[in-house]
Amino acid sequence: MSTPRTVVVTGASAGTGRAVAREFGARGDNVVLLARGRAGLDGAVAEIERAGGRALAIPTDVADHEQVTRAAATAEDVFGSIDIWINVAFTSVFAPFSQISAEEFRRVTEVSYLGYVYGTMAALAHMKPRNAGTIVQVGSALGARAIPLQSAYCGAKHAINGFTESVRTELLHDHSGIHITVVQMPALNTPQFSWVRSRLPRHPQPVPPIYQPEIAARAVCFAADHPRRKQYWVGASTAATITGQKIVPALLDRYLGRTGYASQQTDERVDTDRPDNLMHPLDADPGTDHGAHGEFDSRSLGVSPQLWMSRHARSLSVAAGAGAALAAGAVVRRLAA
């Protein structure tokens, strides 16, 4: 039996972070959970312990550098050296840019971008003395191809890619034994669409195809085990997004401008003053644990051929080249139509 590793997961109380934490727990690892919501953290601890792992919940707002730094020190005090650090935590505002306040935009940026910066800083502070460790950034296809109504979130995801590339090159320069990689996610069925701040007239939804968060969790675990690659791609929508961006960016802009509003909303009318988790957690009180899944189980996929291909990219390099050409042609034909 392998020695349990110490894994820190931010945003671990719900959604992708919750699924990631559970996946590492099932491997028998020691999982440190960072998030704001106490009920969500308690639920995650129970799931990890049932799966066979050990868990430590540390209520943390990743937008606060000092809180993240203290959490990292506590993790090592309890479980020993941090082997893997996973940055997942984020928040967002669904609204046209003109309807987002400066305070809201700042908050999204502090959590969804600076939270990754602070997490990476804390991880490196503990990993560099040992010259060992892995950092995995949970990214998004929207970090390569932005869409309407999510300007703050898209900006943060773009920033994460640039920041991570810079850090990676510095580690390579130093011949470091520390690795950093990004897992670019497709649309996922997480609770965010129920608690994100929204000024849309109808209920927010992920743009199909939608995948279950367990797909994301398996991808993150694989990336943590094989971190030498710059990034991993998950899901059909991710591949189509990147292909469209490279082949026909101007045409894709027009397409998204025409379809991007409706595709991110269901037919259900919602109150624009509904509670949200931008400034305060919605899973802090007893009985408010949201778990990993959102409201779209019936429409979500539990498998991803793209993840399999991403994991076997080297052996499929020739076939992938031919497939990319076919995918590009399909995207161009669809957009032209």
C-alpha span between 30 and 281 (Å, rounded):
25
- Residue by residue, pLDDT tens for the chain (337 residues) are 579 999 999 999 999 999 999 999 999 999 999 999 999 999 999 999 999 999 999 999 999 999 999 999 999 999 999 999 999 999 999 999 999 999 999 999 999 999 999 999 999 999 999 999 999 999 999 999 999 999 999 999 999 999 999 999 999 999 999 999 999 999 999 999 999 999 999 999 999 899 999 999 999 999 999 999 999 999 866 556 655 666 677 888 899 999 999 999 999 999 878 999 999 999 999 999 999 999 998 888 776 555 555 555 555 554 555 555 565 555 545 544 4
pLDDT of residue 321: 56
Residue 68: count other Cβ atoms within 10 Å of its Cβ. Answer: 27
In this structure, what token pair is assigned to residue 337? 């139509």
Name the burial class of residue 322, with classes exposed (0-12), middle (13-18) and buried (19+) by CB atoms within 10 angstroms of its CB. Answer: exposed
- Stretch (H or E) spanning 20: helix 15-26
User: How far lies 105's CA from each of 2, 80, 169, 194, 299, in Å?
Assistant: 44, 37, 29, 19, 31
Angstrom distance (rounded) from CA 293 to CA 16:
8
Q: At what angle do helices 15-26 and 38-51 cross, to 10 degrees?
A: 30
Residue 310 pLDDT? 57
Fold classified for 6-336 = Rossmann fold (3.40.50)
| 8 Å CB contact between 53 and 79 | no
Q: What is the pLDDT of residue 301?
A: 78
Q: What residues are annotated to the active site?
A: 153
Quick one: pLDDT at residue 273? 85
CB 216 within 8 A of CB 267: no
The predicted structure's pLDDT at residue 332: 45
What's the confidence (pLDDT) of residue 336? 47
The answer for residues whose C-beta is within 8 angstroms of residue 334's C-beta and 6 or more apart is none
Q: What integer pLDDT is reported at residue 334 of this predicted model?
A: 56
Q: How many helices (H) and strands (E) does the chain have?
A: 12, 14
Are the C-beta atoms of 9 and 16 separated by less than 8 Å?
no
pLDDT at position 316 is 53
The confidence score (pLDDT) of residue 250 equals: 80
Hey, where are the domains in the chain? 6-336
